[in-house]
Structure 1
Amino acid sequence: MDVDAYSDAHRVEWDRLEALLRRRRWTVEEADEALDLYRHVATHLSVVRSSSPDPSLVSRLSSLVARARAAVTDSSSWSWRDPLRFVTDEFPAALAASARWWVTTALCSLVAMVVTGWWVATSPGVAAAISTPEQTRRLVDQEFASYYSSNPAGSFAAQVWTNNALVAATCLITGILLLPVLWVVLQNVVNVAVVGGIMTANDRLDLFLGLIVPHGLLELTAVFVAAGAGLKLGWTWIDPGPEPRRTALARQGRVTAGMALGLAGVLAVSGLIEAFVTPSGLPTWARIGIGALAEVGFIAYVLRGRRLLRSRAGVPLADDGS
């Protein structure tokens, strides 16, 4: 099915229904019109889900149908199936749909991180400019390792989650401006690279990896996902596609809000690993193994989302990042 042609054919109905839903009260004629439009758009949603892999259009129509159903039936009842559906279907599908953005962000960031860390590790002058010999000695011998056990595990997990959630939220909220997202990612890349470079220069790469990898895999992935989603939101403002800019931004904004909720859960898991696994007495291989399992679980979760998108389309998903 030609998604653009289908959207052009029915956009007037969708926009009219959205306009009605923004009103506080309807006349009798408007109520009848809203009911008819709700039925039409529900049919359109069914057609799109069965014929098109476009997650953005599915998201927009799903939201429109849900709002119209609540307005037409005057129902605001909540079901436990709603959050369950979000966890099992909507969030993994959104992750898969935006994969091109956050995977590209992750790859570019990791390359920059390795290059910067190598530069710091092999350039004594750079390391000396960053910290004094005394500061370096404290970092290598004490501060880096003691950071992860400096507070009780429970409060440390909450502190870590709050900090990381703030970083992710900054990426998502400021995505429309693009540059703040790039700045947040750059700060994270440089911080990890500099510490890693200093630890490597002092023959403590094993300690660095043993403490950063268990939680860092999932934590950095979540940050990269947030950055990718934020950048996609900003790019929607630049290139809204066939839709009016306001409509495209509203649609992508709703998707981004859902991503924020899902990433809060991902960061909660990485925070628990950082608080309870990273500073534990487990062997290094066991701690890294737990972190690797968490990352593999996340990747499997994204692949589930990809399969959901493909099953809705009934055809192989050729482009899941537009």
Structure 2
Amino acid sequence: MEFQAMSDNYSTPDQMVEAYNEVTSDLAFAQTHYPNSPITNYLNDLALGLHHNLYRNKRTSWSSFVRFWTHDIPLCVYQSRKALLLSLLIFVTTIIVGIVSTYGDPEFPRLILGDAYIDMTLENIDNGEPMAVYGGDSQLLSFLGITVNNVMVSFMIFVMGIFTSIGTGYYLMNNGVMVGAFVTFFIQRGLFVDSILAIMLHGTLELSAIVIAGGAGITMGNGWLFPGTYSRMRSFLIAARRGVKVLISTVPLFIVAGFIEGFFTRYTHAGDLLRLFVILISLVFIIFYYVLLPIKRHREEGHGA
């Protein structure tokens, strides 16, 4: 049947739904202007067939959930790969700016991080506990506060894409400069290894998630700036939908990063090998889920290399 052949051309539920919406839109037009035309009957049969096929093949909630995380999101990540790469380049470049600025002006971290934070950290360094800032609150409150704050930051970075991708880029630059100044502040005091192990214990996931949220925002912003053959609004909606899926993927990263920071980063005397192991595991996951798996899913869709 025609609808079955048409359905076979779409490999994801989203694509099939889009095809159904296009057919029903054409059907509405035909029913209005050509109610007795054979083409109207044809479109009606096609719409009914697609509707039946969609619901007949409807997956269980669990299988849909698994597919969303293992197929839909990786495909959206692949489609957003240029925006994600741009986000990474902006973030890394501005980290370097923060590093160079701090070396050029030792007071630069005060401008970025604030006098209160710098004075507190200097006091902690004098007391032999340079990373004591991570052990201030209770573990549970620290975990909840950090996670909520990080999710809000990523959401803000993404939402700024509504005002074109330039808004997202601005927030990425702010965060990058802050990270560069923060790390260099410790390096200048001979605390490179201690600071990197403490910061990247949770920061591998946290900073990666910020870059990914930035890529999601740039994706949405570019949909408005570069509509291509679509209308500007349709291009924006398609890009926003893709960006939202990429953004959703960062929530578990922030939760795990918040858990690590709230419950483990505070133990700055933990073995270096253990902390390095957690950092490497986090990095391997990021590379697998956001680089290797998207490429694999793209090839499985029949698009080749």
| Shared fold (TM-score, shorter chain, > 0.5) | yes
Letter in 1 for 2:194: L
In the other structure, the counterpart of 2:61 is 79
Give the Cα separation in 2 of the matches to 1:77 and 1:131: 49
Partner of residue 144, structure 2: 158
1:299 equivalenced with 2:287 (yes/no): yes
| Correspondence for 1:142 among 121, 124, 133 | 124
Q: Distance in 1 between matches of 2:279 and 2:27?
A: 49
Determine which of 260, 277, 298 is the counterpart of 1:273. Answer: 260
Deviation at 1:270, TM superposition (A): 1.6
Normalising by structure 1, what TM-score?
A: 0.72
The equivalent of 2:201 in structure 1 is 214
Which secondary structure state, in structure 2, belongs to the residue aligned with residue 148 of structure 1? helix
Alpha-carbon shift at residue 180 of structure 1 (Å): 2.7
Aligned-residue offset at 1:300: 0.8
Structure 1 residue ranges without an equivalent (≥5): 1-5, 22-27, 43-64, 317-322
The one-letter code sitting in structure 2 at the alignment partner of 1:175 is G
The alpha-carbon deviation at position 17 of structure 1 amounts to 3.0
**In 2 relative to 1, CA 201–314 (structure 1 residues): closer, same or farther, beyond 3 Å?**
closer
State how 1:91-170 maps to structure 2 within 5 Å.
91-124=73-106, 126=108, 136=118, 138-142=120-124, 145-170=131-156
> Residues 13, 156 of structure 1: CA spacing in aligned structure 2 closer, same or farther, 3 A cutoff?
closer
How much has 1:124 moved relative to structure 2? Answer: 3.5
Of the candidates 237, 257, 264, which is equivalent to residue 251 of structure 2?
264
Contact 2:23 2:46 in 1 (8 A): no
1:179 paired with 2:166, answer yes
Q: CA deviation at 1:155?
A: 2.4
Task: Give me the whole-angstrom Cα distance separating, in 1, the residues matched to 2:122 and 2:71.
Answer: 44
**CA–CA distance in structure 1, aligned partners of residues 265 and 281 of structure 2:** 14
Go from structure 1 to structure 2 and tell me whether the alpha carbon gap of 1:151 and 1:20 turns closer, same or farther (over 3 Å shift).
farther
**Equivalences, count:** 273
On the 8 A contact 1:237/1:249 being kept in 2, the answer is yes
Contact 2:162 2:221 in 1 (8 A): yes
Alpha-carbon distance in structure 1 between the residues aligned to 2:113 and 2:159:
33
Cα gap change, 1:245/1:17 in structure 2, threshold over 3 Å: closer, same or farther?
farther
Q: Is the 8 A contact 2:84 2:211 kept in 1?
A: yes
> How far apart, in 1, do the equivalents of 2:253 and 2:27 lie?
37
SS of 2:61's partner is coil
CA distance in 2, matches of 1:161, 1:97: 28
In the alignment, is the contact (CA less than 8 A) between 2:216 and 2:244 conserved in 1?
no
**2:46 counterpart of 1:36:** yes
Is 1:17 aligned to 2:13, yes or no? Answer: no
Which residue of 1 is the match for residue 297 of structure 2?
Answer: 308
Residue 229 of structure 1 and its aligned partner are, at CA, apart by: 1.4
Query: What is the one-letter code of the residue matched to 1:278?
Result: T
Distance 2:279 2:24 in 1: 47
- What letter matches 2:284 in structure 1? V
* Counterpart in the other structure of 1:90: 72
The CA distance in 1 between the partners of 2:44 and 2:148, in whole Å, is 42
Which is higher, the Rg of structure 1 or of structure 2?
2
Counterparts in 2 of 1:296 and 1:212: CA distance versus 1, 3 Å: same
> Which consecutive unaligned segments of at least 5 residues does structure 2 have?
1-8, 10-17, 29-34
Higher relative contact order (CA 8 A, sep 6+): 1
Deviations 1:63-114 (A, max 9, x none): xx89x946xx8x9996211111111111122222212211222133213213
**Aligned partners of 1:225 and 1:129: how far apart in 2?**
27
